[in-house]
Amino acid sequence: MMDQLQGQVERITYNNEESGYSVVRVKVRGRRDLVTVVGSFVSLIPGEVLRMEGTWGYHGQYGEQFKVEHYETVTPATVEGIRKYLGSGLIKGIGPVMAGRIVKRFGEQTLTIIDEQPERLREIEGIGSFRAEQIRQAWDDQREVRDVMVFLRSHEISAAYAARIFKHYGKESLRVLNDNPYRLAMDVSGIGFVSADKIARNLGFSLDSPLRAEAGALYVLQQAADNGHVCAPYEWLMGQSLELLEIPRTVLEEALVRLLGDQRIVIQDLPSAAAADFGEDRAVYLRPFHLAETLVAQRLRRLLPASRLQRKLDRDKALLWVQEKLSVKLAPLQAEAVRRSLTDKVLVITGGPGTGKTTLIRAILLLYRQWNGRVCLAAPTGRAAKRLSEATGHAASTIHRLLEYGPQAGGFQRNEERPLAADLVVVDEASMLDCLLTNHLLKAIPLQATLVLVGDVDQLPSVGPGSVLEDIIASAQFPVVRLTEIFRQAQQSQIVVNAHRVREGIFPNISAMADNMQDFYFIEKDDPEEVLQVVVKLCRERIPARFRLNAIEDIQVLSPMHRGAIGAQRLNSELQEALNPQEQTLERNGRSFRLLDKVMQIR
């Protein structure tokens, strides 16, 4: 059972406008000191009284706190409370001085007068008809906020969700919730289908509601997209949705027909060859992914026959020249890739670690720069772009930066109307390209340019939906050079050797003597706590000393689980304490944040 607390807001110490999360100091009757209250709030104002439900907790740095789960505002009843309430900026046209005059005139009846007889405000010096109307309108606006919050609370919607809902919909919150609460899952950050479904059930929506069936199917498709799939087999979608929703199949089929008619999904019949690989003859897409996949294929095909900057070029002489400049002897497959980069408009270069992909990029880049060709180098991530720049000596950027992405500017600024100024576009680590980003990239590539995609399909997949590089290779519609030879320098790396062994289905070599192991080590420990201590010591002492790396910036620890003695949560806590032992700590949602902590976005 939750605790209850009522008190008057004295000051707002912290407020996050995006989430509504606030730290508030509250005056509680019977307590000498102010109480710290934390939680999500909407439109808090000093002077108003809060009736709250939540739990007491203790913060190591800030002491006792009351964590709010639900709350409602209570109109202040005392003259001083009303004066502070009105003078806080709550109502446009009333500041502290004017609030004092109004309260002096009407006393404890002030709020009743404003609510029921606002014309009487003209009895106050300095308030005429226009200003009285302004005050009345502002008061009505605040009343709408209170009405929305009362409604949300009465239907067991938590304060955190209420803050997000009101921030997104404002005064339209009640209409949206009554019409279609499942919109929350699509519109409001942090509220998914499961939470929206619970809210809808509290509002009286039935299990077989058509809106529920539509939202459930969209949720299953989005979950598939979150797992990297641009589409789902029709029967798989039916099975997953029916298990989630527990409704008759006919209700779900009707929902899919409506979603199809509303152009929110696409159902595509597959040709026999594709159906055999897919396992079914129909695929269901969320419409944006179907559109992106279709446009990627169209734009790649359009690049192939387009004219390019023609030169009278002896490819063999160019090959000899670039090898001399780089002081390397290219392997036969590398030489083929260089030649094809001079003739083909779209080229894929793929191969495992140590097969010379970076050397090829340097060679192709050098040739284009020799001819004063305009070159753009990019990679999906900042780290990959930095590594590409260091390896080639040419500026490289993330794809988002290359395309001049800006949320406030409306997305990607480079597109068909404003294409890249480039004769050659090279994308490294192309296995990480997803369908949506590839579509935006291809929009911005001018028809005369050459596109070279470099990557290893057996390495990191895309974060978003779609295995673009793998699909381009599998289509057999575009030139592909597969590098297979591991070069002598790479052969000295046990990481490279073992990566190829794993690719070939061979167990990695972990039996070599420690003296011969340069970069790949296998440490066997049975006790989880001992594993934890070894990992911390490796990150804090041994790896930085052995390889001259920065413990925070250059080392990444991977764990196959979130919880447990060696799960990500425990590892993060122990590594933070070992590598970044700062006193100043910010606690949020059960986690500690410190200046210079390494932060990774995982979604």
Give dist(CA 346, CA 164) in Å, integer: 46
**Which CATH number covers residue 369?**
3.40.50.300
- Considering 296, 328, 352, which residue would you say is the last residue of a domain? 296
* DSSP-assigned letters across all residues of 281-317: SEEEEEHHHHHHHHHHHHHHHHHTTS--------HHH
Domain identity same for 461 and 324: yes
Confidence grade of residue 489 (pLDDT, cut at 50, 70, 90): low
At 271-327, the pLDDT tens digits run 887 777 778 899 999 999 999 999 999 999 999 886 665 556 788 888 999 999 999
Q: For position 512, what pLDDT does the model report?
A: 56
Domain ranges, residue 57: 3-38+49-71
The answer as to whether 498 is a domain residue is no
pLDDT at 488 over 70: no
Listed range (52-61, 231-240, 504-513, 518-527) with the worst mean pLDDT: 504-513
For residue 359, the model assigns a pLDDT of 93
Q: What's the chain's length in residues?
A: 603
**In a shared domain, residues 363 and 468:** yes
Mean pLDDT of 375-382: 95
Comparing 12-26, 88-102, 221-235, 432-446, the range with the smallest average pLDDT is 88-102
Provide the token pair at 116. 């029921």
Q: Are residues 389 and 251 in the same domain?
A: no
Look at 160 and 456; give whichever has higher pLDDT: 456
At residue 485, does pLDDT exceed 90? no
473 inside domain: yes
Cβ neighbourhood burial of 79 (10 Å; 0-12, 13-18, 19+): middle
pLDDT at 490 (0 to 100): 53
Query: Between these two residues, 482 and 159, which has the higher pLDDT value?
Result: 482
pLDDT score of 544: 92
Q: Is 170 found in the same domain as 139?
A: no
Q: For the chain, give me the number of helices (H) and strands (E)?
A: 25, 18
Say if residue 401 is in the same domain as residue 465: yes
Residue 514 clears pLDDT 70, i.e. is over it: no
pLDDT in tens, 551-562: 888 899 998 888
Q: Is residue 301 part of a domain?
A: no
Name which residue leads in pLDDT, 397 or 505: 397
455 occurs within a structural domain: yes
pLDDT of residue 393: 92
Question: Region 525-552: what's the mean pLDDT?
Answer: 90
> Same domain, yes or no, for 417 and 467?
yes
Q: Let me know whether 362 and 466 are in one domain.
A: yes
Q: CB–CB of 48/85 below 8 Å?
A: yes
If you average pLDDT over residues 41-54, what whole number do you get?
Answer: 84
Per-residue pLDDT, averaged over 515-522, amounts to 72
Query: Residue 360 is which amino acid?
Result: L
What is residue 311's predicted lDDT score, i.e. its pLDDT? 57
More confident site: 309 or 245: 245
Q: How far is residue 183 from each of residues 197, 212, 284, measured CA to CA in Å?
A: 10, 10, 21
Taking a C-beta distance cutoff of 8 angstroms, is the pair 135, 118 a contact? Answer: yes
pLDDT score of 47 = 78
Residues 334 and 479 in one domain: yes
Q: How far apart are CA 275 and CA 231, in angstroms?
A: 13
Identity of the amino acid at 36: T
Q: How confident is the model at residue 603 (pLDDT cuts 50, 70, 90)?
A: low
* CATH classification of the domain holding 129: 1.10.150
Q: What is the pLDDT of residue 44?
A: 80
- Answer whether 248's CB lies under 8 Å from 208's CB: yes
Question: What is the pLDDT confidence band of residue 66, given thresholds at 50, 70 and 90?
Answer: very high
Quick one: which H or E segment has residue 267?
A: strand 265-269
User: Contact 237/259 with Cβ under 8 angstroms?
Assistant: no
Higher pLDDT, 114 or 5: 5
The DSSP symbol for 271 reads P
Mean pLDDT of 327-335: 92
234 and 337 housed in the same domain = no
pLDDT in tens, 409-458: 788 999 999 999 999 999 999 999 999 999 999 999 999 999 999 999 88
Any domain includes 488: no
Confidence class for position 538, pLDDT limits 50, 70, 90? very high
Q: What is the pLDDT of residue 421?
A: 95
Query: What are the residues whose beta carbons fall under 8 Å from the beta carbon of 458, sequence distance 6 or more?
Result: 352, 431, 503
Q: Is the pLDDT of residue 517 over 70?
A: no
Round the average pLDDT of the chain to a whole number and report it: 87
Assigned domain for 236 exists: yes
Which pLDDT belongs to residue 162? 80
Examine the fold and report which residue of 460, 483, 506 is the final residue of a domain before the chain moves on.
Answer: 483
- Of all residues in the chain, the percent with pLDDT exceeding 70 is 95
- Residue 569 dihedral angles phi and psi, to the nearest 5°: -65, -50
Q: Within a domain: residue 474? A: yes
Contact criterion met (CB below 8 Å) for 118 and 132: yes
> Is 513's pLDDT higher than 70?
no
* Pair (264, 349) in one structural domain: no
- Would you place residue 330 in the very low, low, confident or very high pLDDT band (cuts 50, 70, 90)? very high
What per-residue confidence (pLDDT) applies to 481? 96
pLDDT for res 249:
97
Under the banding of pLDDT at 50, 70 and 90, the label for residue 491 is: low
Determine the pLDDT at residue 95.
82
Q: Does one domain contain both 338 and 464?
A: yes
pLDDT value at residue 418 = 95
Query: Mean pLDDT, to the nearest integer, of 384-394?
Result: 93
Per the domain annotation, does 259 fall within a domain?
A: yes
**Number of domains the chain is built from:** 5
Nearest Cα neighbor of 22 from 55, 65, 51 is: 65
Residue 260 and residue 321 share a domain: no
